[in-house]
């Protein structure tokens, strides 16, 4: 029987037709031809292809400036890479960069004419922007504490890097229906947010022929956006050596059978919903050959990949320092300063977590007092009890074309205001995004705030927000639920304050919004 991919019989959307004409990653061949062209003469035809280079044309689109995202698999960089990232931000990115919720960084204000030099500098230190955006496998994320974590079944970083290497630049899988997000973590704290990834490997054990193996459970089909879905378990146990094979098979199914007619329906979550887990697993096993059925799931809790404060590592005599970066925006000079600390006291390493913070591992316990006395920690708090430390926010209308509202400025005001008014041992997680795309994961927040279009009583457009409460990824996850109505930006702070007041007055000990 001839094999026919589902999409071969579908009416394709315009992006799909363009991707059939030319592979997205081929955009790098185009840059040398178009880089000297004045920006106003660059065709919008390229905008979709730019994504494959990690680029989004920034608003206003007439300026020829870009948001540029760098891929950082597992969120781990060397000191030299951190210094380069900081230096680039200083020279070309307006002096700052943003830490993303997928352990990467992104710049704003990168000029078109400077792109080739920027790519060269990034690739010279072993990093890349290739596939940081576009309809392709995005940055593979993992446990921010991989290898140093007391709550880890084993260090999954080598497996994660094999997945990254397999897909990186692989033109067999560079034309997917939409983006594809993979997480690989062996932390029992679900530290890579498995349920909101398209494909997640999370720790499991399995007794086979009397021997207990450490490996992975598999979840498929998570994702946020207008219609959020939590990933579902497949009845599989996967050894570390089988992970690339399984990841390739899942991505191949998605490539060949994911929907390409309507981009709003193109994520793998919709295919899984239509097929069901049983059919999906049957198709997967046709590609991989036999795999063991599910073992014992050993995930016990959910850390949200949030890594703050000073904590002992698994390695005796060493600690890591998790540094809160409110709203994820960090000045170039501050990143350079943290790189210096990692160089002097750590092991040539800085990491990014899933909550827009950074951490420096392998600080000798004997050096800790000296390190935390560095002047930079007067500005970057190591205490972990502030709303600012737990909040997250996306780019918003400052740079994002899709944003309906501002985000970073209102989030800063809101979280500071809550810190001024409340003190909890562990504050509620307040996440604010500028539209329904939920780049900062507002659906899994205790209080998720989303920018929406609204009009005032004179029918003039205003910035407004919806509020939802009770999100979590504990116990396989639960999305927060909307409170009816839209809140104008002008009264957002007092409204959220009232909400938190009710929580403070009525909650039992350790009760979260999810429990209410």
Query: Under the criterion CB under 6 A, does residue 394 sit at the interface with ligand SF4?
Result: yes
Query: Under the criterion CB under 6 A, does residue 35 sit at the interface with ligand SF4?
Result: no
Figure out which of the listed residues 142, 295, 391, 396 binds ligand SF4, where binding follows CB under 6 A.
Answer: 396
Query: Under the criterion CB under 6 A, does residue 223 sit at the interface with ligand SF4?
Result: no
Figure out which of the listed residues 231, 439, 445, 449 binds ligand SF4, where binding follows CB under 6 A.
Answer: 439
The residue (of 51 and 206) whose beta carbon lies closer to ligand SF4 is: 51
Report phi then psi at 15, rounded to 5.
Answer: -60, -40
* Angle formed at CA 481 by CA 403 and CA 254, multiple of 5 degrees: 65
Query: Under the criterion CB under 6 A, does residue 403 sit at the interface with ligand SF4?
Result: yes
Query: Under the criterion CB under 6 A, does residue 391 sit at the interface with ligand SF4?
Result: no
C-alpha span between 288 and 3 (Å, rounded) = 17
Q: Give Cα 135 to chain centroid, integer Å.
A: 16
Q: Which stretch binds ligand SF4 (CB under 6 A): 135-143, 212-220, 375-383, 437-445?
A: 437-445
Please report how close the Cβ of residue 267 comes to ligand SF4 at its closest, in angstroms. Answer: 15
Please report how close the Cβ of residue 178 comes to ligand SF4 at its closest, in angstroms. Answer: 14
Query: Under the criterion CB under 6 A, does residue 437 sit at the interface with ligand SF4?
Result: yes
Query: Under the criterion CB under 6 A, does residue 434 sit at the interface with ligand SF4?
Result: yes
Query: Under the criterion CB under 6 A, does residue 196 sit at the interface with ligand SF4?
Result: no
Token pair listed for 119: 């790519």
Query: Under the criterion CB under 6 A, does residue 433 sit at the interface with ligand SF4?
Result: yes
* Angle formed at CA 363 by CA 96 and CA 354, multiple of 5 degrees: 45
Please report how close the Cβ of residue 394 comes to ligand SF4 at its closest, in angstroms. Answer: 3
How many residues touch ligand SF4 under the rule CB under 6 A: the total is 12
C-beta separation of 246 from 288 below 8 A = yes
Helix (H, G, I), strand (E, B), or coil: what is residue 92?
helix
The residue (of 56 and 188) whose beta carbon lies closer to ligand SF4 is: 56
Query: Under the criterion CB under 6 A, does residue 339 sit at the interface with ligand SF4?
Result: no
C-alpha span between 208 and 417 (Å, rounded) = 55
Figure out which of the listed residues 148, 204, 234, 400 binds ligand SF4, where binding follows CB under 6 A.
Answer: 400
C-alpha span between 337 and 65 (Å, rounded) = 27
The residue (of 6 and 437) whose beta carbon lies closer to ligand SF4 is: 437
C-alpha span between 350 and 332 (Å, rounded) = 14
C-alpha span between 142 and 182 (Å, rounded) = 9
Query: Angle at which helices 115-124 and 27-34 pack, to 10 degrees?
Result: 130
Please report how close the Cβ of residue 89 comes to ligand SF4 at its closest, in angstroms. Answer: 18
Query: Under the criterion CB under 6 A, does residue 402 sit at the interface with ligand SF4?
Result: yes
Q: Which stretch binds ligand SF4 (CB under 6 A): 166-174, 334-342, 378-386, 389-397?
A: 389-397
C-alpha span between 283 and 249 (Å, rounded) = 9
Query: Under the criterion CB under 6 A, does residue 54 sit at the interface with ligand SF4?
Result: no
Query: Under the criterion CB under 6 A, does residue 452 sit at the interface with ligand SF4?
Result: no
Following DSSP, what letter does each residue of 280-348 receive, concatenated? HHHHHHHHH---BPP-EE------TT---EEEE-SSTTEEEEEE--GGGEEEHHHHHHHHHHHHHHSSS
Q: Label the pairing between strands 211-220 and 199-208.
A: antiparallel
Please report how close the Cβ of residue 434 comes to ligand SF4 at its closest, in angstroms. Answer: 3
Cα torsion angle, 238, 73, 309, 68, sign: negative
Q: Which stretch binds ligand SF4 (CB under 6 A): 14-22, 120-128, 431-439, 469-477?
A: 431-439
Please report how close the Cβ of residue 450 comes to ligand SF4 at its closest, in angstroms. Answer: 8
Q: Provide the binding-site residues for ligand SF4, judged by CB under 6 A.
A: 394-396, 400, 402-403, 433-435, 437-439
């Amino acid at each position: 029987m001839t094999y026919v991919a589902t999409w071969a019989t579908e009416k394709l959307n315009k992006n799909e037709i363009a991707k059939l004409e030319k592979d997205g990653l081929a955009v790098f061949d185009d840059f040398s031809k178009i880089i000297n062209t004045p920006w106003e003469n660059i065709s919008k035809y390229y905008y979709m292809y730019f994504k494959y280079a990690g680029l989004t044309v920034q608003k206003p689109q007439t300026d020829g400036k870009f948001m540029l995202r760098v891929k950082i698999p597992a969120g781990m960089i060397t000191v030299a890479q951190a210094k380069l990232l900081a230096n680039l931000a200083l020279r070309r990115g307006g002096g700052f960069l943003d830490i993303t919720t997928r352990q990467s960084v992104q710049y704003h204000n990168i000029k078109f004419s400077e792109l080739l030099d920027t790519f060269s500098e990034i690739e010279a230190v072993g990093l890349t922007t290739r596939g940081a955006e576009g309809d392709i496998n995005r940055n593979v994320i993992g446990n921010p504490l991989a290898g140093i974590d007391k709550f880890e079944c084993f260090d999954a970083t080598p497996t994660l890097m094999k997945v990254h290497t397999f897909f990186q630049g692989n033109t067999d899988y560079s034309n997917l229906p939409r983006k594809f997000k993979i997480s690989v973590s062996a932390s029992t704290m679900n530290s890579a947010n498995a349920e909101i990834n398209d494909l997640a490997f999370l720790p499991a054990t399995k007794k086979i022929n009397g021997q207990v193996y450490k490996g992975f459970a598999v979840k498929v089909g998570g994702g946020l956006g207008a219609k959020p879905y939590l990933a579902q378990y497949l009845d599989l146990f996967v050894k570390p050596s089988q992970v690339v094979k399984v990841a390739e098979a899942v991505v191949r199914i998605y490539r060949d059978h994911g929907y390409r007619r309507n981009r709003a329906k193109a994520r793998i979550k919709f295919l899984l919903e239509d097929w069901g887990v049983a059919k999906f697993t049957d198709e997967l096993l046709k590609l991989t050959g036999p795999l063991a059925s599910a073992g014992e799931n050993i995930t016990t809790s959910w850390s949200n990949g949030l890594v703050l404060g000073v904590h002992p590592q698994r390695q005796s005599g060493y600690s890591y320092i998790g540094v809160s970066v409110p709203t994820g925006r960090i000045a170039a000079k501050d990143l350079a300063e943290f790189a210096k600390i990692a160089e002097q006291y750590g092991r040539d390493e800085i990491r990014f977590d899933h909550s827009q913070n950074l951490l420096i591992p392998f600080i000798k316990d004997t050096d800790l007092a000296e390190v935390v006395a560095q002047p930079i920690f007067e500005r970057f708090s190591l205490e972990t009890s502030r709303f600012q430390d737990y909040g997250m926010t996306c780019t918003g209308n400052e740079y994002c074309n899709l944003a309906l509202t501002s985000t970073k400025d209102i989030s800063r005001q809101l979280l500071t205001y809550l810190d001024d008014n409340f003190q909890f041992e562990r504050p509620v997680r307040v996440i604010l995004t500028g539209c329904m795309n939920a780049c900062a994961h507002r659906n899994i927040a205790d209080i998720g705030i989303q920018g929406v279009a609204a009009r005032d009583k004179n029918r003039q457009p205003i910035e407004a927000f919806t509020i939802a409460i009770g999100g979590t990824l504990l116990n396989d996850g639960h999305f927060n639920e909307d409170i009816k109505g839209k809140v104008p930006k002008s009264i957002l702070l007092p409204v959220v304050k009232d909400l938190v007041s009710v929580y403070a007055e009525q909650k039992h000990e350790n009760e979260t919004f999810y429990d209410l």
